[in-house]
Amino acid sequence: MVETTINTKWSNFHTTTMNVSKFNEWKQNTITAAGGNGKGQKLNQLNNPSGIFIDKKKNVFIADYFNDRIVEWKYNAKEGQIIAG
């Protein structure tokens, strides 16, 4: 397991990377925080997301590569809002 922490003036960013065997099994208990409605350009869709950042307020910022935009998903939002692109 590799852990990385980046501290900036505005926030802390922590990532964990772990190799998981394709034969591992676990119970699935997940919540979709952004997207989940297939590929597309609507504000409740993403198309090849390539980067993610989560701030202290649990807002999610996603680099939506094929839509050429950065989308912000507020905590518990049903769709995102374009903040760049």
Cβ neighbours of 28 (radius 10 Å):
5
Residues β-bridged to residue 72? 61, 81
Give me the residue spans of the domains in the chain: 44-85
pLDDT > 70 in the chain, percent: 60
Rounded to 5°, angle at Cα 15 from 28 and 66? 80
From the options 3.30.750.24, 2.40.10.500, 3.40.50.300, 1.20.1530.20, give the CATH code of 44-85. Answer: 2.40.10.500
Per-residue pLDDT reduced to its tens digit, 15-49? 666 666 666 666 677 666 676 677 888 888 888 88
Q: What is the mean pLDDT of residues 51-73?
A: 88
- Indicate the average pLDDT of the chain: 77
* Cβ–Cβ < 8 Å for 48, 35: no
Query: For 8-68, where are the E strands, in sequence order?
Result: 12-17, 49-54, 60-64
SS3 65: helix
pTM: 0.60
